């Protein structure tokens, strides 16, 4: 099915069995909390005892390997193989960059002597135990020829590149320059955000073995189809000769959209040794062997009338990519549709640096782009002495201001108003640095939330077995967001089955393909394919019972209608009955602008002696289509808000230019919010269905909770202190010199 028309009323709307929206506990919860869920490094399906791999990273910032001595490592106890560029199996060259799915591009390792960045694998040691492999890795001696490199974005802005058109580098409407020049009120500011690290709980890990000429890989990846293609392209084997399994993932956040050296090197070594090989990256290795979010420089210019109506809006952004990559952080995405302004421009530019690959990380684009935009809007509100909520309401567009198409749904204003009411926004003192409690300055801030809604092609197969159990199969993944649970709810509601009679099997590339988890499109895409499969199964079952499918009603394990009825298990018989479903994006995506929306409100206290910032309370109000599971949805939104606090106050990967590496490359020094940083925060979801989005009428919300959250905290800091910090994160050294006496 292509999404070419609004979705009509369907069984999920009727919700006769009450599964939709129900705050169901995660169906995979028990196996996870008891330790029975096998993550990639813990899988026991290998046909023989696996050997252990350990990666040796380059210790220079840029250059080449002049010579490498691995003899001592090869002679170490338990060592089975030491692979370097001198003896690694031949692989396909990197890329090509023209391949639309960048995660399926060939990505070879140890294919030459070049070192593009610190941490690039220069050797791979395989031994009988992890300890032996790690010990032997320390015996590998590498002689390097280092060359100068570029590592700081702000120092190389003059080397900017305009990305290709498919990266949507710029947009424009009207005459921005003229309108900004004539605007009675102006805001002209620059914001910067640093490199962010994904910091997943589960490290990247892989277990690989070969069955004849076919490789089986258990790994931690969000997108199985892309992983399958990347392995096939890199190893130069047919795709059907690669099976990728990823049943449980301990956090992805974009860092596990592609597969990395642990997967490729384990597969290569396993083929050489004819034995399973497993590899896990250490926490420190994850900072350089995998990806990160680019740092950004953002120039915001807002022109307005005295009543707050925007007449001119400009958002120009720079972000970095790896030297040989073409990724660009989509910083300006939300700016293009969030507020009305007749004269507008956005521009995104890339700067190539000699750092590891920068790529998608926890709401790419909006997480940092909306941080700057929503802070700039707060600056405009302060300049005009207009309430920040009212400023946003006054600039509400009646259509997408750049695409000039209607919004599928848009509840930004209701989110703003409901959030203000619940938070007690009217109690805010608009004058900064006026509220003091003991040694603490107290302030409130707010920001809008917006995140684009996507639908991707997906397929699903459902099988009703003779015992009455419905089995769901597709190559979708669950990165901790609740995929197992919401798919169980959809299938149970469609077939009128108890939840206990639905078994969801995902995370295997041998199952019908989906795009996996990413970009907040997972539930909508894979869930819609599941919906279509269940709809086709309903038709088959009704016809088998001699019932007109249009009159069929499903419930209690039966189908009834037209005076007839039958048990589903009897209709399935011993052989079972199957159906498949597919979803593809269509005209709805072109005819309507589709976003999820929300509003954040935060209160902070700033210690006037130390400059320490403490979040006191935070509220998010969101509209994201139909909510499949109130508990898992709220969990995702709260998690996003916590990441927003991290962006505002904690997260920053510090670069040492001498060696081109991130100094704070562990969780002890790379600061993320912990329990002491997060008080009782809350997320509220407004009722909404979006029949233009997909058959489920849902919207993605996994990243919505991040998009703008940092700005609400930053704006609260300004309201508390009168100090506007435009270089994130807001640390005490940036506040303390400017605090009032």
Task: Give 688's contacts (C-beta < 8 A, 6+ positions apart).
Answer: 409, 411, 623, 624, 625, 626, 699
- Among candidate residues 202, 366, 535, 703, the one labeled active-site is 703
Q: How far apart are CA 611 and CA 607, in angstroms?
A: 5
Element (H, E) at 181: helix 176-182
Single out the residue of 449, 693, 687 nearest to residue 592, CA to CA: 693
CB 484 within 8 A of CB 478: yes
Helix spans in 483-594 (H): 483-495, 522-544, 568-572, 588-591
d(CA 244, CA 345): 43
Rounded Cα distance between 535 and 572, Å, is: 16
Query: 674: which residues sit within 8 A by CB, 6+ positions away?
Result: none
Is 703 tagged catalytic? yes
CB-based contacts of 557: which residues, under 8 Å, 6+ apart?
468, 496, 497, 498, 501, 567, 568, 569
- CA–CA dist 263, 277 (Å, integer): 10
The string of DSSP letters for 445-460 reads EEEEEEEE-----EEE
> Half-sphere exposure (CA, 13 Å, Cβ side) for 713?
30
Q: What is the DSSP annotation of 63-132?
A: EEEEEEE-HHHHTSTTEEEEE-TTTPPP-PPSB-TT-SSGGGSB--SSSSSEE-STT-EEEEEEESSHHH
pLDDT of 658 reads 86
Structure token digits, residue 530: 């599941």
What does DSSP assign to residue 509? Answer: T
- Half-sphere exposure for 684 (CA within 13 Å, toward CB): 18
pLDDT at 439: 96
Cα–Cα distances in angstroms (integers) from residue 364 to residues 111, 333, 345, 407, 703, in the given order: 30, 10, 20, 22, 9
Domain ranges of the chain: 2-37+456-585, 404-454+592-738
Tell me, letter by letter, the H, E, C secondary structure of 461-478.
Answer: EEEECCCCCEEEEECCCC
Q: Which of 449, 352, 400 shows the shortest CA–CA distance to 706?
A: 449
Asked if 2-37+456-585 and 404-454+592-738 have one fold, the answer is yes
Peptide bond before residue 600 is cis, with ω within 30 degrees of 0: no
Determine the pLDDT at residue 574: 87
With contact defined as beta carbons under 8 Å apart, do 263 and 338 qualify? no
DSSP-assigned beta bridge partners for residue 293 = 196
What count of Cα atoms within 13 Å lies in the side-chain half-sphere of residue 641?
Answer: 31
Topology given in CATH for the domain delimited by 404-454+592-738? Aldehyde Oxidoreductase; domain 4 (3.30.365)
Residue whose C-alpha is closest to residue 345's, from 179, 233, 122, 467: 179
Closest residue by Cα to residue 381 from 719, 735, 693, 729: 719
Percent of the chain at pLDDT > 90 equals 99
Q: Please list the ranges in the chain whose pLDDT falls under 70.
A: none
Q: Which of 684, 709, 512 is nearest to 601 (CA)?
A: 709
Three-state DSSP state, 683: strand
Residues 516 and 223: beta-carbon distance below 8 Å:
yes
Structure tokens at 298: 């953002």
The class that CATH gives domain 2-37+456-585 is alpha beta
Question: pTM higher than 0.75 for the full model?
Answer: yes
CB distance 207 to 277 below 8 Å:
yes
What is the spatial distance between Cα 186 and Cα 430, in angstroms, rounded to a whole number? 20
Q: Strand ranges (DSSP E) for 354-457?
A: 436-437, 440-452
Residue in 600, 596, 595 with CA at minimum distance from that of residue 644: 600
Per-residue pLDDT at 657: 87
Give the CA count within 13 Å in the CB-facing half-sphere of 628: 32
């Amino acid at each position: 099915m292509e999404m070419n028309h609004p979705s009509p009323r369907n069984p999920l709307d009727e919700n006769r069995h009450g599964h939709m929206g129900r705050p169901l506990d995660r169906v995979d919860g028990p196996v996870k909390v008891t330790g029975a869920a096998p993550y990639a490094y813990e899988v026991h399906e290998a046909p023989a005892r696996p050997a252990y791999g350990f990666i040796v990273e380059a210790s220079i910032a840029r250059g080449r390997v002049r010579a490498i001595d691995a003899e001592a490592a090869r002679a170490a106890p338990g060592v089975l193989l030491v692979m370097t560029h001198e003896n690694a199996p031949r692989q396909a060259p990197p890329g090509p960059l023209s391949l639309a799915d960048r995660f399926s591009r060939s990505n070879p390792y140890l294919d030459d002597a070049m070192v593009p960045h610190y941490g690039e694998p220069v050797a791979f040691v395989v031994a009988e135990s992890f300890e032996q492999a790690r010990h032997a890795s320390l015996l590998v001696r590498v002689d390097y020829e280092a060359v100068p490199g570029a590592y700081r974005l702000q120092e190389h802005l003059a080397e900017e590149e305009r990305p290709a058109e498919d990266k949507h580098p710029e947009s424009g409407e009207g005459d921005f320059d003229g309108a900004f020049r004539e605007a009675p009120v102006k805001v002209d500011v620059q914001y910067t955000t640093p490199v962010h690290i994904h910091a997943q709980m589960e490290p990247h890990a892989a277990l690989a073995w070969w069955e004849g000429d076919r490789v089986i890989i258990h790994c931690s990846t969000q997108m199985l189809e892309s992983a399958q293609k990347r392995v096939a392209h890199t190893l130069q084997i047919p795709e059907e000769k690669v099976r990728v399994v990823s049943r449980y993932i301990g956090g992805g956040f974009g860092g596990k959209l592609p597969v990395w050296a642990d997967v490729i090197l384990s597969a290569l070594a396993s083929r050489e040794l004819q034995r399973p090989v497993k590899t896990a990256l250490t926490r420190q290795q994850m900072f350089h062997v995998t990806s990160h979010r680019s740092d950004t420089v953002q120039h915001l210019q807002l022109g307005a009338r005295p009543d707050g109506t925007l007449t001119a809006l400009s958002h120009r952004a720079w972000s970095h990519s790896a030297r040989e990559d073409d990724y660009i952080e989509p910083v300006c995405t939300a700016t293009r549709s969030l507020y009305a302004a007749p004269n507008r421009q956005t521009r995104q530019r890339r700067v190539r640096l000699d750092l590891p690959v920068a790529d998608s990380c926890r709401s790419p684009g909006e997480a940092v782009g909306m941080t700057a935009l929503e802070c700039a809007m707060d600056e405009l509100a302060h300049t005009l002495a207009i309430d920040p909520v009212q400023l946003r309401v006054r600039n509400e567009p009646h259509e997408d201001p750049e695409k000039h198409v209607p919004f599928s749904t848009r509840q930004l204003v209701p989110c703003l108003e409901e959030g203000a009411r619940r938070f007690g926004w009217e109690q805010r003192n608009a004058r900064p640095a006026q509220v003091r409690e003991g040694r603490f300055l107290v302030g409130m801030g707010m920001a809008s939330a917006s995140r684009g809604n996507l639908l991707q092609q997906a397929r699903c197969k459902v099988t009703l077995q003779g015992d009455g159990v419905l089995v769901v199969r597709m190559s979708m993944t669950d990165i901790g967001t609740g995929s197992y649970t919401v798919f169980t709810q959809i299938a149970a509601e469609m077939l009128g089955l108890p939840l206990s009679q639905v078994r969801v099997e995902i995370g295997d590339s041998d199952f019908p393909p989906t795009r996996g988890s990413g970009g907040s499109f997972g539930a909508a895409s894979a869930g819609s394919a599941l919906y279509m499969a269940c709809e086709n199964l309903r038709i088959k079952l009704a016809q088998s019972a001699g019932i007109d499918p249009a009159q069929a009603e499903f419930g209690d394990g039966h189908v009834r209608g037209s005076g007839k009825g039958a048990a589903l298990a009897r209709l399935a018989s011993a052989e079972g009955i199957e159906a498949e479903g597919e979803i593809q994006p269509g005209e709805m995506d072109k005819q309507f602008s589709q976003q999820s929306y929300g509003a954040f409100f935060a209160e902070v206290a700033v210690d006037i002696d130390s400059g320490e910032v403490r979040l006191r309370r935070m509220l998010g109000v969101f509209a994201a289509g139909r909510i499949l599971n109130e508990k898992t949805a709220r969990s995702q939104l709260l998690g996003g808000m916590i990441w927003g606090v991290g962006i505002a106050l904690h997260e920053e990967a510090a670069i040492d230019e001498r060696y081109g590496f991130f100094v704070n490359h562990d969780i002890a020094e790379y600061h993320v919010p912990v329990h002491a940083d997060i008080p009782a925060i809350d997320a509220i979801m407004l009722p909404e269905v979006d029949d233009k989005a997909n058959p489920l009428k849902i919207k993605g919300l996994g990243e919505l909770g991040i998009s703008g959250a940092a700005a609400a905290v930053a704006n609260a800091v300004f309201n508390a202190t009168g100090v506007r910090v435009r270089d994130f994160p807001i640390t005490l050294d940036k506040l303390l010199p400017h605090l009032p006496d």
